[in-house]
Amino acid sequence: MRVVSGIKPTGNLHLGNYLGAVKQWVAMQDDIQASGGETMYFIADLHGLTEWIAPDQLRDNTVEMTATLVAAGIDPARSILFNQARVPAHSELSWLLNNVARVGWLNRMTQFKDKAGKNREGASVGLYDYPVLMAADVLLYNATHVPVGEDQKQHLELARDIATKFNNDYATELFTLPEPLVSAAAPRIMSLRDASAKMSKSNPSEQSLVKLVDSDETIADKFRKAKTDPDLLPATITELEGRAEARNLVTIFAALADRTADDVLGEFAGKGFGQFKPVLADLAVARLAPIRDEMLRLLADRSAIDAILRDGAEKAAALATPMLRRTQEAMGLLV
């Protein structure tokens, strides 16, 4: 078993990334390694280029995201932790796979439609081609499992389609079909201001997302001001149907507490948000503050963080380079 997953350095880690993906990454480090497998996590800096970002910002974000992952529990001694750009095989395999992926397949990708919005003609080619690079990221390592939030599931279906077509077209079994693993507890964390939109770095409202760099006061304030409704909490999550904001807060509570939503509701049934929110705010601070503090401590030595990435890239390249060569050879390229 090999677990591979990535995160874009387009901003700070937020609660959606953390509960939807990174928390699973940390858990898998123990579970997968106990069964003899490997875990590989990377900062998707090449994916960070698909929408313009100032070079200094990208550099800073890459280091800060790495420090946050380490602070959250990714151990560079046990997982291969690296940045995508330092392993050029990602870009190279992506070009090869561009010739296998079909335009019709990419046209169906909902994230491109959402991100490009009405200005599709003005979107970068990279934004359109993004899922093919993502396929390269996982196929390059024969990833068996890819822990992601629900929003990335469609991209992984595409990676499976690309792998299947490649294996057929070139009569090979080179590529393993990767399995997306979506957290049952937190498949999709929504904005705290509008639960019809996912919690996202690109949401312009600061109040809509909790960042892992936020101070204790800011975290608590964002939960206290989170949008809810005037009704009381029911005894089960199914009764929260149609109350998206309430459901989102209960999901966050349960994921942070490692409890089921029904278990949490057992405690709060019949109570209002006036009672629920302060407990949620305290829980969030208790869980997130230690990660933030450790991240800030690690950031005192930025070159040590970069050394982690360099070391990880060397290990990743040792796996990626032979796989790229086998792909090139399978396609008839003289290398």
Q: Which of 141, 144, 165, 166 is nearest to 328 (CA)?
A: 166
**Residues from 161 through 190 that contact ligand TYM (CB under 6 A):** 186, 188-189
* Closest to ligand TYM by CB, 154 or 329: 154
**Residues from 124 through 143 that contact ligand TYM (CB under 6 A):** 134, 137-138
* H or E element in which residue 289 lies: helix 273-298
Pick the binder of ligand TYM from 145, 198, 211, 222 (CB under 6 A).
198
* Closest to ligand TYM by CB, 6 or 76: 6
Cβ atoms of 275 and 268 within 8 Å: the answer is yes
We find the least distance from the C-beta atom of residue 300 to ligand TYM, in angstroms, to be 25
**Residues from 200 through 219 that contact ligand TYM (CB under 6 A):** 200
Q: Who's near 40: CB < 8 A, 6+ residues apart?
A: 2, 3, 4, 5, 79, 80, 81, 82, 141, 143, 316
Cβ atoms of 100 and 50 within 8 Å: the answer is no
In the annotated binding site, the residues are: 8-10, 16-17, 137, 149-151, 189, 198-202
Q: Which of 239, 262, 242, 261 is nearest to 252 (CA)?
A: 261
* Closest to ligand TYM by CB, 79 or 152: 152
Q: Sign of the C-alpha dihedral, residues 325, 330, 333, 335? A: positive
Gap between the Cα atoms of 96 and 249, Å rounded = 43
Pick the binder of ligand TYM from 20, 74, 109, 295 (CB under 6 A).
20
We find the least distance from the C-beta atom of residue 19 to ligand TYM, in angstroms, to be 6
Pick the binder of ligand TYM from 148, 185, 254, 309 (CB under 6 A).
148
Where does this chain bind ligand TYM (CB under 6 A)?
A: 5-8, 16-17, 20-21, 44, 47, 134, 137-138, 146, 148-149, 151-152, 186, 188-189, 198-200
